[in-house]
């Protein structure tokens, strides 16, 4: 899959929700409403009236195609999402997008680095290349790419059926992350604000949000 992604055309589209991130966050659609490559909006909440089809880019990705087919469920949007080095996705929710409502969003890191911090509420999720993760997108989550390389995830939105439920039953579950040390975190926030860069200020705001959530 890494080789397939490297050979795809450089026609990435900037994510449209510009208020939710800083830096560069770009998308390539492999499956979308109508099979349109330029359509990077998943529109997952309207699956009854929208027909999802593979885009022409999916034909160039046989390994990804095989993986998607192996899920044995109805698949909605399939996107490659590139969070560039130094970029931040701010704390946000994708309303109603969760397993309990019959929809699952799967993340498969194609390229990542150990300085990527993906938070699902107060849990730091250590996603490594080649793993498959489900996150409840209906709760607050955020990402910071503090590394020197880009982070590219394959993101699959699909319907929950018996096959997906069985897959989830077999999967490892994450443990609750340790609570933040409040005093230490306040010192980190102070230092980040003194740096006074766009990235450091975003990280400080993210840590402040986590402190408020845990309070």
Secondary structure of 139-174 as H, E, C letters? CCEEEEECCCCCEEEEEEEEECCHHHHHHHHHCCCC
- Are 67 and 32 within 8 A, CB to CB? no
Kindly report which listed range (99-103, 162-166, 169-173) carries the lowest average pLDDT score: 169-173
- pLDDT at position 118 is 96
- Are 146 and 192 within 8 A, CB to CB? no
Per-domain boundaries in the chain: 2-170, 182-214
> Taking 70 as the threshold, does the pLDDT of residue 10 lie above it?
yes
- Which ranges of the chain would DSSP assign to H, the alpha helix? 2-6, 62-69, 162-170, 182-195, 198-214
> What angle do the packed helices 182-195 and 198-214 form, to 10 degrees?
160
Distance in angstroms between the alpha carbons of the first and the last residue of the chain? 41
More confident residue, 6 or 95: 6
pLDDT, mean of residues 178-204: 72
Kindly report which listed range (22-36, 39-53, 152-166, 184-198) carries the lowest average pLDDT score: 39-53
Q: What is the pTM of this model?
A: 0.77
Fold of 2-170: Jelly Rolls (2.60.120)
> Taking 70 as the threshold, does the pLDDT of residue 178 lie above it?
no
More confident residue, 85 or 199: 85
Distance CA 200, CA 146 (A): 10
- pLDDT at position 42 is 67
> Taking 60 as the threshold, does the pLDDT of residue 45 lie above it?
no
């Amino acid at each position: 899959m890494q080789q397939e992604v490297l050979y795809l055309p450089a026609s990435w589209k900037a994510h449209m929700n510009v208020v939710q991130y800083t830096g560069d966050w770009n998308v390539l659609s492999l499956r979308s409403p109508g099979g349109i490559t330029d359509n990077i909006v998943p529109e997952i909440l309207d699956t009854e009236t929208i027909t999802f089809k593979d885009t022409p880019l999916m034909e160039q990705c046989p390994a990804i195609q095989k993986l998607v087919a192996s899920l044995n469920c109805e698949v909605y949007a399939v996107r490659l999402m590139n969070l560039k080095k130094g970029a931040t996705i701010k704390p946000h929710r994708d309303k109603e997008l969760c397993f309990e409502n019959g929809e699952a969003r799967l993340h498969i890191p194609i390229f990542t680095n150990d300085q990527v911090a993906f938070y699902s509420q107060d849990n730091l999720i250590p996603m490594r290349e080649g793993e498959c993760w489900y996150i409840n997108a209906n709760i607050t989550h955020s990402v910071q790419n503090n590394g020197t390389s880009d982070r590219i995830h394959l993101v699959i939105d699909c319907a929950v059926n018996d096959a997906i439920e069985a897959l989830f039953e077999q999967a490892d579950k994450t443990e609750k992350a340790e609570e933040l040390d409040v005093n230490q975190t306040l010192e980190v926030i102070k230092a980040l604000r003194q740096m006074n860069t766009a990235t450091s200020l975003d990280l400080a705001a993210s840590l402040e949000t986590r402190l408020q959530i845990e309070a």
